[in-house]
Amino acid sequence: MTDAMHISASLEDYIEAIFHIVAEKQAAKPRDLAERMKVAGSSVTGALRMLAEKALINYTPYDIITLTPAGKAYAEDVVHRHEALRDFFVKVLAVDYKAADEAACGMEHSVSKVILERLVRFAEFVEVRPRGGEDWLSGFRHHCERNTIMKMSELKPGDKGVITAVAAQGEIGQRLVDMGMVKGTPFKVLRKAPLGDPIEIQIRGFLLALRKQEAECVSVEKKAGK
């Protein structure tokens, strides 16, 4: 795309809108456009004139609007950017569709081709990555929904969780692991000692007491609810 073809963000919105209307109805009328863009008829006229000047649309007042081949290519590019961004938000970042669509609308004009291409490639890579794939992504979604990777010591009595990592090394690490604290193990915090320090958890069908100092070494994912 040449520099001459570079148009403003709002004009890109117009051409994108025309593209969608044309796709639905074969041809667009200024009134449809004003409705879709939620703007006054007068601003539509100005924008259409500018697009016509750049030879992206065929436009004469009071007639229907169609895209020129160059306009169609330009519009397709904008739409592609929008969809790619939206998909990335939904699939990889686990944002819901509506919010993703709105964000894509704002970002599609400014994101460069290189970055966009990389985002698309990244989304593809994540989906097919050997140890990742759909599981990995659903893990991330899960992770985002909970948004509560925390230390075991931060949990309160009654909280349930799953161990995600044991950071301690050496003797403490080995002790914790020997007692069954490995990643993926569900547990429940039962209580704190009367003086507040060691905590008691239920894990692998038995009761284990450990100091907060040790519990700090254990990363957990808190389960929602009690």
Partner 1 sequence: MKEKKEIIVALAGNPNSGKTSLFNAIAGTHLKVGNWPGVTVEKYEGYVDYKEYRIRLVDLPGTYSINAYSPEETIARDFIAEKKADIVVNVVDGTSLERNLYLTTQLLELDPKMVVALNMYDEVEKLKIAIDFKMLQKLLGSHVVPVSAVKKTGIEALLDHVVRTYENKIVIPRDKISYSEEIEEALAELQGLLETDIPLSAKFSPRWLAVKLLENDQFAYSLAKESPVWVRLENKLPGILNTLEGRLKERVAQRISEDRHAFARGAYKETVKTANEEKRTITDRIDSVVLNRLLGLPLFLFIMWLIFQITFTFGRVPMEWLQSFFVFLGDKAAALLPEGILRSLLVDGIIAGVGGVVGFLPNILLLFLGLSFLESTGYMARAAFVVDRAFHKIGLHGKSFIPMVTGFGCSVPAFMACRTLKNRGDRLATMMVIPFMSCGAKLPVYVLLIGAFFPASMSANILFAVYLFGILVAVLSAKLFKATIFKGRSEPFVMELPVYRLPTLQSVLMQMWIKAWMYLKKAGTVILAVSIIVWVVCNFPVDAGLSREYRARVEAVNQDKTADAGTKAAAAAALENELAARQLEYSFAGRTGKVIEPFIKPLGFDWRLGVALTAGFAAKEVVVATMGTIYALGETGESESLTQRLRTDPAYDPAIALSLIIFVLLYVPCLSATSVFHQEGGELKMTLFYIGYTMAAAWILSFAVYQTAKAFL
Size of site (CB under 8 A) for partner 1: 36
Query: Which range touches partner 1 (CB under 8 A), out of 32-40, 79-87, 105-113, 197-205?
Result: 197-205
Q: 134-173 mask for partner 1 (x: CB under 8 A)?
A: --------------------------------x--x-xxx
Which CB atom, from 79 or from 165, has the smaller least distance to partner 1? 165
77, 101, 200, 216: which one contacts partner 1 (CB under 8 A)?
A: 200
219 binds partner 1 (CB under 8 A): no
Three-class SS string for the chain? CCCCCCCCHHHHHHHHHHHHHHHHHCCECHHHHHHHHCCCHHHHHHHHHHHHHCCCEECCCCCCEEECHHHHHHHHHHHHHHHHHHHHHHHHCCCCHHHHHHHHHHHCCCCCHHHHHHHHHHHHHHHHCCCCHHHHHHHHHHHHHHCCEEEHHHCCCCCEEEEEEECCCHHHHHHHHHCCCCCCCEEEEEEECCCCCCEEEEECCEEEEECHHHHCCEEEEECCCC
Residue 164 Cβ vs partner 1, minimum distance, rounded to whole Å: 12
130 binds partner 1 (CB under 8 A): no
Stretch that binds partner 1, among 4-12, 49-57, 90-98, 204-212 (CB under 8 A): 204-212
**Could you list the residues that contact partner 1 (CB under 8 A)?**
166, 169, 171-180, 182-183, 185, 190-198, 200, 202, 204-211, 213-214
